[in-house]
Amino acid sequence: MRKLTCALLCLLMILSIAFCLTGCKSRTDEMAGLEVHTDKQINKMKKQVIKCINKQDKEGLKKLFSKDAQKHIDDLDGKLDQLIGAFNGNKIESAKGRGPNFKGSIQTQPLHIYGKYHLVLNSKEKYRIYISFCDKNDEEPDKEGVFQIELRTFSREESPRDFSGG
């Protein structure tokens, strides 16, 4: 009886250690999967935003915004006109940036993804654009989509003294 109890305890310990180790591995895999997901999503969103700006497609750009943002951003149409107008008809030739940042996860929603890109226009001017969007929100699907695009047409050195962005 004693040998059987010891054998069962050893088996339980082995199983619990194996479970703990695979649990850690799956969390690492999940985070790697989330990074791949955010990379794909921000690249897709970046391409859509740039395509709309290059085509001066205000309506297409507006559709990228979440329904909630479309309702709550004051004068969204006017702000989109300003955004497109800032390019003076110049086209974006390249947009390079670091990997996206994200807040939340697939399980703890909402999942917000942020991207920062350095743009080079065909006029050789250089701008920076920041794109923020909600990729997943099962509880409030109206909040899925872009909620902020920020364009900076000035360099870091030219930034106003108290400027913090936004």
Rounded to an integer, the average pLDDT of 125-144 is: 91
- Give me the percent of the chain exceeding a pLDDT of 90: 51
Domain boundaries, the chain: 28-152
Summarised one tens digit per residue, pLDDT across range 143-157 is 999 999 999 887 666
User: Higher pLDDT residue, 101 or 123?
Assistant: 123
Whether residue 13 is predicted with pLDDT greater than 90 in this model: the reply is no
Residue labelled with tokens 């670091």: 98
Residues whose CB falls within 8 Å of the CB of residue 77, separated by 6 or more in sequence, listed in order:
58, 62
Q: Give the model's pLDDT for residue 134.
A: 92
In CATH terms, 28-152 corresponds, of 3.40.50.300, 3.40.50.720, 3.10.450.50, 3.40.225.10, to 3.10.450.50
Quick check: 131 and 149 in contact, CB under 8 A?
Answer: yes
- pLDDT reading at 74 higher than 60: yes
